[in-house]
Structures are given as structure tokens and as C-alpha cells.
Structure 1
Amino acid sequence: MAPNIGLPGEWKMQQPHNCILQRLPSADRQQLLARCEQMTLPQAARLDGPGQGGHQVYFPLSGLVVLQSGSGGHAVSAGMFGNEGMLGAGLALGLARSPLQATVLEAGQAMRLGCLGFWHALRHSRPLTRLSQHYLYSTYEQLALSAACAHCHDITPRLACWLLMADDRLQLAAMHFTQQEMADILGVRRVGITRAAGWLQDQGLIGYHRGVISILDRPGLQQAACSCYVLFARNHAPLICHI
């Protein structure tokens, strides 16, 4: 049963862990971890791409991975995940190919195992299958929200929303995103990000200098964000675990 937790910004991660792995019964978790290796997620590394058959499954312990849809230089953010999620959950439904591009935006650590090892673990662990399917449904919900947000809302509230979502997952004093990266993720021109970030900074909501972003006034940033943030937060909250 999911813990009773508040809105993002109240969560405090105590040590590197992955929430999906942490929710598994101890015996199931130990059997799965025995097949995994811990590795670094380098910034800008592409973990999966549209139409590709994923050969690896990733459970991030830290960092941030963004999911984008589209091609030909016109990809747009379709979601993100940190240590609350995983890459490769579609295997729980027998889906080896991904329709999305997964790229590491903020470097971190992850547990990784091959698809065959994950399939074996799924066959022997009902809780892992259930958690993977639950996370996959949450991902689809995030995709739908992202599509509606991109269609309905202006750049500034979308940027505020996106920064809050990233902060919820990273829980860092400062985040490292260039204007071009944010423009690519939100599917807008860089000049739009320059104006939006400048306005948020002028309002004292964020600090931004040479790709380093800090949130100075979180309640104010939540007010500046589009209404989608509350929906994203409700989607994200049940995935978070406390240890």
C-alpha cells in the first residue's frame, strides 16, 4: 500500500535507492539485485530510442532521465523519471520496443540488468510484475498529461512546472540544465526559454547562471506553474517510498 505523503517538495530522500526495488519483498529484491550491476548514468547518454529493442533495464538510484517523443529534431518532452521509476517496464507486458527516446539529463547512478535477466525475474516474482505494470500505467498517464500541457499552456508556466517536477526527483540544491536543453525538452525555441527563465528569475523564483538553476521560492514557483503541476504531482506521489 502506498505511503501517505504530501505534495512534492516535502519529500526527503535519505540515501540512494530505487523505489520500485525498495517496494519488493526482501527475497524478491535480493534475487533481482543479484542479477544487477551498479553503474553510472553519464549526462547526455541515450539509454533507449524510438523503435529500438531495449537490451538493458535500468533502475535509477539518482539522476534524472527524460523521455521524449518525435523525431527529426522535433522531439518534445513526454515525461521524466528519477529514482521512483525504471526504464524497461514495458517488458512486463511483453513489449521490448520503446516508442520514446530516453536520455540522461542529470548524471546519476543506476542498477542495470539485461532483458533476459529481467524476464526471468518477472516469471518468478508476482510483486515485480505488478509494480512494473503499475509504473507503466503511471508513465502512460504522464505522457497524456505532457501532451495536453504542451498543447494548452504557454512557455513560462510550462517551464515552471517542468523545473518543479525535476526538483521533486533530484532533491538537489542546484540543477544543471542549459537553455538549449530546456528548449529541446519543451519543444520550443531557445529564445522562448531565455525569456521565460529571465522572468522567473526577475520575480525571485529561481536563480539561474551559466546552466546552474536553483529554486529560491518554491511556493511562488508553484503559483507561476500551470495547473498541470498538481496533476503531475498526484501522479508522482504514489510512486515515492520512504525508508
Structure 2
Amino acid sequence: MSRRYDSRTTIFSPEGRLYQVEYAQEAISMAGTAIGILSTEGVVLACEKKVTSKLLDDDGSAEKLYIINDQMLCAVAGMTADASILVNNARVAAQRYLKTYNEQIPCEMLINKVCDIKQGYTQHGGLRPFGVSFLYAGYDDRYQFQLFTSNPSGNYSGWKATSIGANNSAAQTLLKKDYKDEISLKEACELAIKVLSKTMDASNINSEKLEFATLSLSSKEEGKIIQKIWNDKEIDLLIKTTGVLNDKSTGDE
């Protein structure tokens, strides 16, 4: 007789698995690829747009990139409706900490708070896990630039370069091959474009299929955080200067 272990979030299967959490991770693997790369000068986040249509009213806002506070932004893969709820929670927690202590919340502390919410949805009946994974790019005075990822189970970890979403394993392989410790922000941007060009299903890439963001410092003297979500012209120029279209065409021959 089937016990339907996959119908309840809170029931372990005989193998010790929570199927609802695994189903949430499977939903994320169907979403567009998102890549994060940590450099000596900042952090790069690049996302693949899955829904593109000429009928959409593009007001310039990003679909998969969110600004959390003055020192953090994130990219998402999965259900954007779920992501909006968690991003709003993160923003409230960040502003509450700023109001209480008059300083920005440390990156890992904020991520921990969001992951506590995600983990709570894996242990209460009548709830389903959030079907979204995050890439967090942040900066604080203690650890400088940081890159974290989190999944529906509430687990999170720090990375030098990583990816979430579709073709995750292929993107990770390419990042392992080409990433270097002393990579500059410019080189990281070019690497993100090259990896996406080889992992996306589309035959060619352009600004209609990509979202791009960087987190950097204005200068070491000023120490001002610059959060930049790139516009279409800047993305197209980066693609052109990187020459990924030529690389892809020669690689298929």
C-alpha cells in the first residue's frame, strides 16, 4: 500500500528524503540559468530571461534581479512570485536592523534570516516549500564582497563562482575551468557572458534574453557601494566586445 510520502512536506520517506523539497528543486532546474561570479573588485550576477515577447511592455525593470538594501542585491531562479515574498521579508529585516543599530546588516546574517523562513516551510503541515533559489551579492566592512546561494530547503553557502537554474551542472563545469582567484570585475563580466552563451538554449544571445547586474565600490577612498542593473545597450555592448557569438559559431563546427 502506497503511503504517499510525496504528498506531505513533513513526512520523511523510508529513504529519509523530503520529496516536496526535491520537487521544489526540480522546479528551479526548469527555470532560466543564473550565474554569480566573485571578483577582486566586486560581484557579477547574470540571468537568463525565459519569457520574452514583443508584446510585453518593457519598462526597464528587471524580472530576476532585486535590490535588497544599499549593500546587497540578488538574482533568482524559479517561481518569481515566491521570490517576491522572500525579497520583501529580506528588505524589511534589513531596514529593521538599520533602524535599530544605525548600520547595514551583515550579509550572512540577513541571508540566515531569509533561510530560516524557507526552512520553516519544510516542517509545517499545509505549507509547501518556496520554489526558488537565490544568488546573493553583498558587501560588508568585515568580509568585503561576498557571494552566497540558497535553496528551498533553507540551506545556504558561500561561493567564488556558482550557478542556479537550468543547465546548472554544465555552467558549473565551465566556471571551474575558467575561473581564477584574481579575476577582475571586467573579466568576471566577460566570463559570465561566455558561460551563458554556452549553456542557454537559444542559438544566439542578446539583451532581450539576459539580465545583468554588478556590485562594486566607487573607489577605495570613498568606499561607496555601486549597485548597477545594466540596461539593454550596455548588455549588447558587452556581448559585442566579448565576442561570444563568434566563439559559439566556431565551437559548433
Q: Give the TM-score of the pair, scaled to structure 2.
A: 0.30
More helix by share: 1
Provide the TM-score with structure 1 as the length reference.
0.31
